[in-house]
Amino acid sequence: MSNRSLLVVISLVLVGSSGCSQQSARQARAAGEGRGGKPLPVTATPAKLQSERRTIEVTGTLLAYESVVVSSQLDGVVSKILADLGDRVQQDKPLAELDRAEFEIQVKQAAASLQQAMARLGLKSGEDPQSVAEEHTVDVMRAQAALDEAGIHFRRVKDLHELQIGTQQAVDQADAALKTAQANYRASIDQVRTLKAQIEQYRAALELAKKKLNDTVLRAPFAGDVQQRFISPGQYLKVQERAFSLVQTNPLRLRAEVAERFVRSIREGQEVKLSVEGLKDSFTARITRVSPAVTEQSRTLLVEAVVDNSRRLLRPGLFARALIVSDHMENVLLAPASAVINYYGINKVFSIAEGTVRECPVKLGDRFGENFEILDGIQRGELLATSNLEKLTVGTAVQVTSK
């Protein structure tokens, strides 16, 4: 065979093996007749463009709605353990107690200091020191009386001196006594104001002492379940040392990553159907949070959904599969699932034209019921064989019996 003839043969082989088979109708019909002459009966359905809501399948992990490590705000010895692993607790329920003796003493000391300062102002427990005018307190009234007396004495001595009965020395002494009384009066006013400030300070100290006493009881910050206990009775617990791990298991959070191509189909409020391995039940969730940006490394969008767990069947940490039904309608090219056949990992369909078959490799997208989305390989309206696919090859003559 000459080189020119060999090149022609190779070119024909390459053209016939790329994409949908490119044989002419006459060549295909001849090939069909060569295989027996009788067309093979098949059913067929055209590829169609249809509006669909895309169902996005994702996987994710169930997380506790809230989780916290409860720690101590005080240094102290653990006296009681009131909750343990697996216990369900309500908000503010006591989990453990520290020894209270030292803190009770501090409360008594602070209360005594406050009562003493209140008594100096002539106040009873609970009265507001700011409501008392400085001029009406005992010390100030005493200083005011002394000032008034010193003023009267000074005027009397001065009048006698003007009548040349008294001496200058007596006038000077009376003047000094008046100035001393004036200074004592101002000092008594300042002393009352200082005492008022001290009362506020003692009140704050009493409140702090009471808070510390209250903090000897470790409480649950929210309703949940005890995941772990880290302390034992008699243990000396330091400030911020962990005591319990608490999780809120109803509802739960589902955190999942959505592929970049589905980003425009995701929004808050969408319903999510999820399943967990080992459980036959299906669960409903709603998307509550959507990340504002796509993760560069994985090209995915992080979403979070809240899952009702009132039946207590789900647990944090479980792996879940979820389906997100988009409310965005898309025009997609569909082919029946019965028209798609897989050869060694390659998906193919058989397109029928003029009574003969062409083999077309296709790229599949999502599945919509009994149809596959076709991303590449065929065009809208192409007639696709849906039966006897295993008997079809390129160029087989067929007779469409129904559509």
Residue 14 and residue 370 in contact, taking contact as beta carbons nearer than 8 Å = no
Contacts of 183 (CB under 8 A, 6+ apart): none
Element (H, E) at 201: helix 168-215
Are β-strands 88-89 and 224-229 bridged in parallel, bridged antiparallel, or unpaired? antiparallel
Query: Which residue matches tokens 């739960």?
Result: 252
Strand runs labelled E in 107-241: 217-219, 224-229, 236-237
On whether the CB atoms of residues 356 and 21 are closer than 8 A, the answer is no
Q: Are 312 and 250 in contact (CB under 8 A)?
A: yes
Q: Which is it for the CA torsion 215, 85, 59, 273, positive or negative?
A: negative
pLDDT score of 123 more than 90: no
Neighbours of 109 (CB within 10 A): 13
Residue 129, pLDDT above cutoff 90: no
Q: Are the CB atoms for 237 and 76 separated by under 8 Å?
A: yes
pTM above 0.75, yes or no: no
Q: Give the pLDDT of residue 24.
A: 41
Provide the pLDDT for residue 250.
93
CA gap 101, 403 in Å, rounded: 89
Q: Which residue has the tokens 């065979």?
A: 1
pLDDT at 4 over 80: no
Q: What is the pLDDT of residues 296-338, one digit of tens each?
A: 999 999 999 999 999 999 999 999 999 998 767 778 999 999 9
- CA distance linking residue 365 with residue 347, whole number of Å: 11
* Candidate from 21-30, 118-127, 222-231 with smallest mean pLDDT: 21-30
Per-residue pLDDT, 25: 43
CA distances from 250 to 67, 307, 346 (A): 12, 8, 45
Burial class (CB in 10 A: 0-12, 13-18, 19+), 231: buried
Q: How far is CA 130 from CA 118, 196, 293, 333, in A?
A: 11, 7, 56, 82
